Structure 1
Amino acid sequence: MCRWAAYHGTPIFLEDVISRPGHSLIAQSAHAEECKTATNGDGFGVAWYDARPEPGLYRDVYPAWSDPNLRAVAHHVRSGLFLSHVRASTGSCISRNNCHPFAARRWCFMHNGQVGGFEAFRKQADMAIADEFYTYRKGSTDSEVLFLLALSEGLEHDPHGALARAIARLEGLSRAHGTTPHMRLSAAFSDGQTLYAARYSSDHIAPSVYYRYSHARQGWAVVSEPLETDEGDWTELRPGRMLTIGAEGAAERDFAPADLGRAA
């Protein structure tokens, strides 16, 4: 399982999430506490928004804890909305194209979890991606397919429904051709204006998600694990919920792909 962290608010340096906190994302890459594997060393990535509508993107295959370039970028780059990720592969190869976040047009997306038995139906999943978005298919992960399926389902106009329909399609393929667990997901994504996060699982085990507003930073952090062990005011995003953070603050709503999706 992977670990990720996102931020939306007054611009801060990326290092305020990625490297400076006691349980920063880099610390979690070596010593995660709320997932099956404590080590997430199969690459990393960060996507950030600034003066352009499309996100900047920096990804590599090295472990986050051993890459000095990541620390240098995080020390100098400031952003009011960014997504960062450290990867533990669930089967696909270690390559830059398989590192999260993924980006297409003004959107970026990152995921922690799995689609059970994905390799058995990867061709069918790829074929479900709309032609206009298939050009962005660069890697081999189920996470990238999920992102491009959500775009195909109308992410730009209906983020909640589009992700729900994309999950339902992949979960349906897993139930027909794959293995359990059919779907485990925590995901964060953005269009540069609004930050979204979702938590869902087809069984009783959903990857962890927490969020918190910092008055000192005047911004929201959404994370796989709290960034400081002594901060007790993190809110857990429960399974079957989606979080939306925009200019007016944060709001939760129910998230039930089975209710919104269609059979694969």
Structure 2
Amino acid sequence: SELLELSEYPTLLHAYSSLMEIKRNILIDIATKIPFDAGVYYRFDDYHDQLIPEAWICGEFRPEKVLRGKGISGLTLERKRSLFVPDRKTHPSFIDIKEEAFIQGSFISVPVFTDKNFMGVITLSRDNEKSDAFGVEHRYMLEILAAFLSSEMSSRLLYNELEDSYFSTVSSLTRALEAKDSYTKGHSERVMDFAVGTAQMLNLSFESVRKIKYAAILHDIGKIGVSDDIITKDSSLTDSEYGEIKKHTEIGYDIINDSGMFSEIKDLVRYHHEKIDGSG
């Protein structure tokens, strides 16, 4: 039954909207499968070669950064394999380790990594005076959860890289388009700054802010399908010309919709000139 419950974990991870949300809930989710008294998820900082605590359940104790080879989690990082000890106080290798004082009694420390990325370490402990010690089955369970977690995080990281690359390409195209006209130069970036700032002040979710950011920088991408003579015209537009420039929202919608990558913001691009009451 416990293994069956573990099989549901990938579905739970996939339902989270962002990597940030996954990390925020790692220990909360694990606690439903493997009860513990204290636990930390550390993110691996490749540049400084250290572990940085990103999520923890440790009572009043606040975990600190851990260097490679130091503490229990640092050893897990160095060895890239799990550590499992039923009682820290009786294990000669761990009695005198000063780092990670929150780890009392039994502990399990498991790396989160793929062939290409080392993402972090999950370390759980149980106070043997309050709880039963971890068993080897708990180690295997945490290793399975870490494998699911690393797979999902790796996929998210790859998608984010592709998304950032695509966004950078399209943003460059938008800037090149606006550079043709001094009146509109930098317009989309200013819109993005104001829109994102407003969204953050309203405490919108990370995912909502992300969508607003992308929609703001790309909202005028449809002008690529409008004649340069109309876009750069320094006098009033004729009715015919005005009709042409109004088409940029539909053109932008088609571009975004066909891209697939940002299809979720297509309606924001399409209706960004609509009145707030929807009257036109």
TM-score interval, smaller chain: under 0.3
Structure of greater relative contact order (alpha carbons < 8 Å, 6+ residues apart):
1
**Structure (1 or 2) with the greater strand fraction:** 1
**Structure (1 or 2) with the greater helix fraction:** 2
**TM-score, normalised on structure 1?**
0.25
> Which is higher, the Rg of structure 1 or of structure 2?
2
